[in-house]
Structure 1
């Protein structure tokens, strides 16, 4: 694994800054305030294209030069954007073929952001020309600490269905399948008379009058992820030609964006960076934050990573934009740090006075510095400085959860047993139950080395290859412990059903065979023989070698196994064939002795003989946790029991870790 080059030592504090929205007098005020707030790293030129190239071939770098020098003078390092995330109006006006087209065949126009087709050669030529000019001008500047390629690639334009994209899709398919007969077999085109005789007949899966081909839909997702990754590589190659500074882009590991397979992207990053915002449309936004941080750490291969963006308070794009209570920003930030982040950055520095994000929070709010929000920023900065020695250590975890973007895409296709069954619901349920038990989880890709984990959890892994399924079976037979949940192992990588009964790829290792799915209607529940209840999903399941842990007590599947356990080789495998509280199952599987607590979050980081205990109290009442050492935040010694007040955080340098 390549080493990680973090842009700034310690646990750094950073932010996005959009100086093009402000006058030079404000720039100077902002630089002074940034220094006062202890800001270490500032991202600039994220949306700078129309300022740098106001008309075709006319380049103006004076403003950016001044901002770069101003930040440098104040001792602030720069995360320099390439400026290509949104093209200027002149580009689409002159070259309307660069605009993206949606699945219904309609063009999306300028006025927002990312109004460009990822396959457009015109866009790429003009964008890469700008990247080259920025790289040559600033590549050796002493303030430059990180290159920021574009911004949130694929947030809005990941899937484009225009004719240029259609050509690129056909080229991608030819490289993947080589022969048209191989594609026909992979897509199952004998169904509904879809057989192709020539590559030119293939189109992107635009909206149709009926259900579309699911294998084609998954391949279009794969293509679209690869197409944007190719664009990232093109920008990165230019930057690396003119500079030795590390290169990255900001991922969007979050509950509402799923279009890029970041397992394929992560190896291209010099440092993995993620944007994360609390999503109050979810039942437990804080639990999802912890999952996203663990998944980002998984993408980083367990090494430290960057939180490139988060909100100081409310966002502006949810139906109800909830602000953060006093102390919440610090808890959120340290949850990311506990789970591997060595840099904590925000969108943005100064709250915008105009534009679509004028109601998005910032480190410096509209009301200025005499505010609770500003005082929270100063407190966070002081806290990050006090825990700076944590930097470079790694998170301790001996449980793994398998996660797959391909399974997310395929399991939520147009025609499936229940539209109420979603991939992330199962993933979040399993991860949340482990978190509630005080268990820290690595999130890894199918095919990852599982040998060091005492438990592997596989939630809703609908799509899996034979090779990856065998790796899981080998792990269990060698003494591992496995928990698999419903709708797993159903199809291979072509989205072809594994015949012979569900759960397909996992039948043998789980010692069960399911004849039929029995989805429940939303709101319906059935009782379980272990005293619990189940909802959403049941199966007509029978055991082959497994023992029964719980059966359905009522409903159409009354008396049929709902939870099973199987001895497989030297290991043990559980199957949870319904939606239920997984806490007790996972408690048995992990063999942990812990009081379930959704409010107390406990994580350890270790490295070079050092150990650090993070205890984050999301509740209102004080919590205790065993610990010995020194709380880095307060400087106080801890001798046996650590008490963390409601809403508080402690980071203990442990004695004899």
Structure 2
């Protein structure tokens, strides 16, 4: 079942920490929030010691006053369970609750996320604080929902405490049943790793050259994910048993070693995300022409794949940094508004800025909020107020609209986790995925992220005209048959090199590559090579229908192909002086009403753009408007309606001109637009056709 935020009102708000500030500030803070158009706040996710200053002693007075004042000013409240930061009395009395490094050394109290998910003591105490909070606030008129913990697996996504080793054995026993099955799955016959007793089995531990068993490592990440989900579900189930049904349960953030689709499916009402686009200025995406803050649209596409409608629990409003450093630039005038509508365009129907006021103490005192330390009005406050005013006018028109995309880029958690150790395919996937996304964004083709797993159905795939699976390294026969059925119905699938060579345990298949995809693609891989640092990168050349020869780079890795099906044909060959010059580099197989492409290399943006053209997919807005490259396009539509809402986002640092070919209304300004329209730097247009509002 698809999990989504279901609301008829757009809630705009801010994260607030009443325990950080003198109580005399609260009333003025809440008053000014309302002046900004805010209707909701998030509180309490780091306040365990406030609620339980010593074991078994509970106090709610401070937050009772804070929530009462918020309610008086008409603010709704999201309560966070405060279990991301256990109190000092807990970790001192129960050191077994602490997480440990792979070498067994315990992490000590301080900072956050220094506990483990599998300690029976920690689970009991986390469950109790969640229960006491739910019992106390279940009938509070301001409380609208609950956030479980905070940013699971942020800062630390590996766990090696004694409790985790014990829990891992139980998890493996349930998964495999016998040691014989475990030994087979992990390939322990290699290098004499065979286990003869369950007590010999552990999570990965330090090894020579830091090279653990790869199959054990893959299972380890699956276990880390299931541990976090179990821990989250423990609290969620307790809260749901106590609070009224209108109070929802969510979690915020997407971090490593966590299957967020499974987490949401089994535990949450919808997913929430913490969006910080300016981090891209210090961690730019790979390849040529980085997307920078536009890359966050891919992250939001991932969130949308989990919950079609979601909450952005933390939207960047200032420069980012911890107490040791100020890392990112401050948002330029207009960027905070742009990023807000970036989130909304992708399906955010609730959004909270982080944070109301920059902390003057602690680790995040350089992680800036809307208000600066001085607490004086500034341009960020005015920009937030502008967004608040706009959403008061149009929020009800756009909330609940579904995102429309005709293309999707496929991912899987198994490939993501296996690729952390396997540098043959992990870096390739990250590189090719973003190059494909760049090509789609700059061609103004709205694109979904699609995680393929045991829940994926043909019906889900059939809503797309194009599926791209850049490097489907681990793929099952079931998923291969699913993609075959999709193609036979008329869909187009594009694969890249290194596809199909591992099974679900991470074993290399003893069959012609690309394994279960070979028949589907109509080819076999007869040879392959990685491109060495001192070797020349070849080109792939092909001839288009007009007779024009195209040439694109074939970087990183090359599969040399052989056509094996009468329905398949070569569409490109290698060129560039390599021993495989002239060999088949790319192929197209016709299958039913659809087509399968196999591209024997990693993808550059140029190659992806050429393959987009071959697939025949173009922008859904091509007949309506002409858009420059740096103006991003998104399309939303209310279920049951054929009226599209078009989001145009200008990420350029200068003005851009769009050409609108028929009269359209901008919901933000109320103006009717047609012809050449100038968008200022970081400007936003939200358009409906025919001048309708």
TM-score, normalized by the shorter chain, greater than 0.5: yes
Inter-CA distance 383–486: structure 2 relative to 1 (3 Å threshold): farther
Aligned residues of 1:261 and 1:406 also touching (Cα < 8 A): no
Aligned residues of 2:357 and 2:375 also touching (Cα < 8 A): no
Equivalence for 1:292:
299
TM-score by structure 1 length? 0.94
Inter-CA distance 5–411: structure 2 relative to 1 (3 Å threshold): closer
- What does 1:68-467 correspond to in 2, within 5 Å? 68-210=67-209, 211-243=211-243, 244-253=245-254, 257-267=255-265, 268-278=267-277, 279-280=280-281, 281-282=283-284, 283-300=290-307, 303-316=308-321, 320-388=327-395, 389-413=397-421, 415-417=422-424, 421-446=427-452, 447-448=456-457, 449-467=460-478
Equivalence for 2:574:
552
For the pair 1:469 / 2:484, whether they are aligned, the reply is no
For the pair 1:66 / 2:65, whether they are aligned, the reply is yes
Aligned residues of 1:246 and 1:270 also touching (Cα < 8 A): no
- In structure 1, distance between residues paired with 2:429 and 2:315: 24
- What does 1:522-561 correspond to in 2, within 5 Å? 525-529=537-541, 530-545=550-565, 546-556=568-578, 557-561=580-584
SS of the residue 1:538 aligns to:
strand
Aligned residues of 1:116 and 1:157 also touching (Cα < 8 A): no
Post-superposition offset of 1:642: 5.2
Equivalence for 1:616:
649
Equivalence for 2:614:
588
Post-superposition offset of 1:555: 4.4
- In structure 2, distance between residues paired with 1:286 and 1:5: 25
**Deviation digits for residues 394-453 of structure 1, max 9, x if unmatched?**
01112122121221111232x54377x343222222122111111111222213431221
- In structure 2, distance between residues paired with 1:522 and 1:366: 50
Post-superposition offset of 1:572: 0.7
- In structure 2, distance between residues paired with 1:82 and 1:476: 46
Aligned residues: 649
Aligned residues of 1:614 and 1:649 also touching (Cα < 8 A): yes
Post-superposition offset of 1:349: 1.3
- Long gaps (5+) in structure 2: 285-289, 542-549
**Deviation digits for residues 281-319 of structure 1, max 9, x if unmatched?**
11323232111111111111xx31111112112211588
Post-superposition offset of 1:345: 1.5
Equivalence for 1:574:
597
For the pair 1:34 / 2:65, whether they are aligned, the reply is no
- In structure 1, distance between residues paired with 2:681 and 2:150: 37
**Deviation digits for residues 314-341 of structure 1, max 9, x if unmatched?**
2115884122111111111111111111
The structure 1 residue matched to 2:633, chosen from 590, 593, 602, is 602
**Deviation digits for residues 57-106 of structure 1, max 9, x if unmatched?**
22221101011101100000001111111101111111111110122322
Inter-CA distance 5–292: structure 2 relative to 1 (3 Å threshold): closer
Aligned residues of 1:365 and 1:374 also touching (Cα < 8 A): no
The structure 2 residue matched to 1:511, chosen from 502, 506, 522, is 522
- In structure 2, distance between residues paired with 1:134 and 1:522: 58
- In structure 2, distance between residues paired with 1:643 and 1:628: 15
For the pair 1:499 / 2:510, whether they are aligned, the reply is yes
Inter-CA distance 291–374: structure 2 relative to 1 (3 Å threshold): same
Deviates more, 1:142-151 or 1:491-500: 491-500
- In structure 1, distance between residues paired with 2:113 and 2:413: 22
Post-superposition offset of 1:656: 9.0
For the pair 1:634 / 2:674, whether they are aligned, the reply is no
SS of the residue 1:518 aligns to:
strand
Deviates more, 1:61-70 or 1:313-322: 313-322
Post-superposition offset of 1:646: 3.5
Deviates more, 1:526-535 or 1:340-349: 526-535
Inter-CA distance 3–154: structure 2 relative to 1 (3 Å threshold): closer
Q: Which portions of structure 1, spanning 4 or more consecutive aligned residues, are displaced by more than 6 angstroms?
A: none
Equivalence for 1:13:
12
- In structure 1, distance between residues paired with 2:257 and 2:328: 24
Aligned residues of 2:407 and 2:465 also touching (Cα < 8 A): yes
- In structure 2, distance between residues paired with 1:114 and 1:537: 38
- In structure 2, distance between residues paired with 1:585 and 1:359: 44
- In structure 2, distance between residues paired with 1:644 and 1:489: 45
RMSD over aligned CA atoms reads 2.1
Aligned residues of 2:425 and 2:498 also touching (Cα < 8 A): no
Inter-CA distance 219–251: structure 2 relative to 1 (3 Å threshold): farther
- In structure 2, distance between residues paired with 1:417 and 1:613: 40
SS of the residue 2:440 aligns to:
helix
SS of the residue 2:364 aligns to:
coil
Inter-CA distance 442–186: structure 2 relative to 1 (3 Å threshold): same
Post-superposition offset of 1:123: 0.8
**Deviation digits for residues 16-62 of structure 1, max 9, x if unmatched?**
11111111012222111111111111110110101111111222211
Post-superposition offset of 1:221: 0.5
The structure 1 residue matched to 2:687, chosen from 639, 652, 655, is 652
- In structure 2, distance between residues paired with 1:568 and 1:192: 44
SS of the residue 1:387 aligns to:
helix
- In structure 1, distance between residues paired with 2:79 and 2:683: 34
- In structure 2, distance between residues paired with 1:88 and 1:41: 27
Inter-CA distance 502–350: structure 2 relative to 1 (3 Å threshold): same
Aligned residues of 1:347 and 1:362 also touching (Cα < 8 A): yes
- Long gaps (5+) in structure 1: none
Inter-CA distance 334–612: structure 2 relative to 1 (3 Å threshold): same
- In structure 1, distance between residues paired with 2:609 and 2:200: 51
Inter-CA distance 305–324: structure 2 relative to 1 (3 Å threshold): same
Aligned residues of 2:5 and 2:310 also touching (Cα < 8 A): no
Aligned residues of 1:14 and 1:40 also touching (Cα < 8 A): yes
- In structure 1, distance between residues paired with 2:532 and 2:312: 39
- In structure 1, distance between residues paired with 2:107 and 2:185: 32
Post-superposition offset of 1:596: 8.4
Inter-CA distance 366–466: structure 2 relative to 1 (3 Å threshold): same
